[in-house]
Amino acid sequence: MKQYSNDFRKKVIEYCKRCNNKSKTAETFSISRKTVISWMGLEKEGKLYEYKKPVGQSSKVNLKTLEEYIINNPQAYYREIGEEFNISTSQAQYLVVKLGFKIKKKTKIQRSK
């Protein structure tokens, strides 16, 4: 969900009060009519400008611990890091890159004859 600035919300509310038409307001500002209705209700309650904490998950991996693991195990693959920290391989790759490390890719595995 997009977080709109307080200035934008204020402009929308003022415009809606002037024209007294929620549909026109929504169309003018390229937002949904439901959003305008919601903001009007919040404005009446005095809660329009209250900060809302963004929704999302926090990482279950301590980045300091992960960094120490990478330093102590420089040859570890993403799969091994994922198994160690009980996360997916792609999440391990994301966190390693986020910390600024690069892990060399595996060399090609030759097929046995």
Tell me the pLDDT tens digit for each residue of 12-57.
999 999 999 999 999 999 999 999 999 999 888 888 777 666 666 6
What's the pLDDT at 74? 84
Say if 71 falls within a structural domain. Answer: yes
Say if 12 falls within a structural domain. Answer: yes
Contact 34, 14 (CB under 8 A): no
Say if 105 falls within a structural domain. Answer: no
Contacts of residue 110, defined as CB under 8 A and 6 or more positions apart, other chains included, come to: none
pTM of the model: 0.46
Say if 57 falls within a structural domain. Answer: no
Say if 58 falls within a structural domain. Answer: no
Q: Count of CB atoms within 10 A of residue 81's CB?
A: 22
Specify the number of domains making up the chain.
2
Place of tokens 């693991």: 69
Structural domain of 11: 6-45
User: In which band, very low, low, confident or very high, does the pLDDT at 109 lie, cut at 50, 70 and 90?
Assistant: very low
Helix (H, G, I), strand (E, B) or coil at 3: coil
Same domain, 68 and 38: no
Say if 30 falls within a structural domain. Answer: yes
Say if 38 falls within a structural domain. Answer: yes
Say if 54 falls within a structural domain. Answer: no
Share of the chain above pLDDT 70, in %: 81
What's the pLDDT at 58? 67
